[in-house]
Amino acid sequence: METVAGTVTHDPPPGAGGRQGGPLIVTEDTELLDDLLRLCAAAGATPEVHHGVPERRGSWEAAPLVLVGDDAARRVRGAVRRKGVVLVGRDQDDSGVWRRAVEIGAEHVLMLPDGEQWLVDRIADVAEGVGRPALTVGVIGGRGGAGASTLACALAVTSAREGLRTLLVDADPLGGGLDVLLGGETAQGLRWPAFASSRGRVGGGALEESLPELHSLRVLSWDRGDRIAVPPQAVRAVLAAARRRGGTVVVDLPRRIDDGVAEVLAQLDVGVLVVPAELRAVAAAGRVASAVGMVLRDLRVGVRGPYPPGLDDREVARLLGLPLVGEVPVEPCLSRPDDDTAPPGAAPRGPLARFCKEFWERALVEAGTA
């Protein structure tokens, strides 16, 4: 066991892919119990509390996490050895705590209050059922009007139609709102400004349930207020929560790179740069690619026609020095203004939906999730 700041380092819990429930708490120390209940509440978990090893068969073995108060160490000595046992105490100077941890087979020793954030994160992990993180794709335009928002929406709509848990994130406060593009401007749910004060860990399940649901996916967009930015630490916390839920996350990115966008780029698995087949657009896209590439390693290009003489999708990719995703098709119905028009990618047999489906098939195989 290795001590760090009064706690013991840990490996991430094994992925379970589904919600597992709260931890088992074993203690008679009322003050310690109050602290542990408070931390469970902060992590969104409901624990089971006992003074000793539970009499009900299997409770000790089945709990995803066991928190044993130092006062109860003697009472659990004879329990079946298992993973995920944490011995919790308060006395930093008590060297005997390590001996008691060995006696009960604890994997970790944690001292309060120093280890509170570690414990909240660990409880939240087991409560949410941490599995493989979401495949996270960012879409950015090589120039204004390139169609990045349209492609981002189509990718999200296609992902949801394929049965994947899907979250569409609007990271461009000046883009007009992806909820509008999806026909859900008045849909109930939270928008970015509601998360501006987020710090530390945001519950993935609570985030998902708080957002508008449109076309079988969740959408995090902007409201119509004056706020056009949220702090980078809030962006980091929200996107990390979204990724913990698994499935896919699609992010519509602005062409400017500020601290908040840099936080998004750092959590992307793949970026798609949408570039119209025009020499000026290619030149502008080169500058965008240079800035994005400083943070995002896997950046690819999707090219939109029509093509002038001597220029095609392969040549655009060669000029930019980026891998080619393919030609991003234009869906004819999207060019006709109509309040009742379905969102991008809604027609399963349409060219844009077929492109998106092929994209996800390749990306999921590459990520090892297919």
What's residue 143's pLDDT?
Answer: 94
- 3-class secondary structure, 211: coil
pLDDT at 17: 40
Is residue 107 exposed (0-12), middle (13-18) or buried (19+ Cβ within 10 Å)? middle
Paired tokens of 206? 């609570």
Residue extents of the structural domains in the chain? 24-128, 135-369
CB 245 within 8 A of CB 163: no
Q: Measuring CA to CA, which residue among 13, 18, 112, 16 is closest to residue 66?
A: 13
Same fold, 24-128 and 135-369: yes
Backbone angles phi, psi at 62, to 5 degrees: -85, -20
Q: Which fold has domain 135-369?
A: Rossmann fold (3.40.50)
Confirm if 117 and 110 have CB atoms less than 8 A apart.
no
Q: H helices of the chain, where?
A: 30-42, 59-62, 96-104, 116-128, 148-161, 178-181, 204-210, 232-244, 259-266, 279-292, 313-320, 351-367
pLDDT at 368: 78
* HSE-CB for 255 with a 13 A CA cutoff: 19
For 74, the token pair is: 């003697």
How high is the pLDDT of residue 14? Answer: 37
68 forms bridges with which residues in the sheet?
26, 87
Instruction: Provide the pLDDT for residue 12.
Output: 35
pLDDT (0 to 100) of residue 250: 98
Return the pLDDT at 163.
Answer: 96
The secondary structure of residue 56, as a DSSP letter, is: S
CATH no., domain 24-128: 3.40.50.2300
Tokens of 192: 């970015």
CB contact burial 11-46 (16+ within 10 A = b; e otherwise):
eebeeeeeebbbbbbbbebeebbebbeebbebbbbe
Query: How far apart are alpha carbons 352 and 44 in whole angstroms?
Result: 40
In this structure, what are the phi and psi dihedrals at residue 14, rounded to the nearest 5 degrees? -65, 140
Q: Count CB atoms within 10 A of the CB of residue 186.
A: 8
Pairing, β 270-276 against β 299-304: parallel
* CB 126, CB 108: distance < 8 Å: no
Q: What is the pLDDT along the chain (370 residues), one digit of tens a residue?
A: 433 233 332 333 333 344 456 899 999 999 999 999 999 988 878 999 999 999 887 889 999 999 999 999 999 999 999 999 999 999 988 989 999 999 999 999 999 999 998 898 888 878 776 668 899 999 999 999 999 999 999 999 999 999 999 999 999 988 878 988 898 888 999 999 999 888 777 878 888 999 999 999 999 999 888 887 889 999 998 998 899 888 999 999 999 889 999 999 999 999 999 999 999 999 999 999 999 999 998 999 999 999 999 899 999 999 999 999 999 998 765 544 454 568 999 999 999 999 999 999 999 999 877 6
The 8-class DSSP code of residue 292 comes to H
Question: Which of helix, strand or coil describes residue 198?
Answer: coil
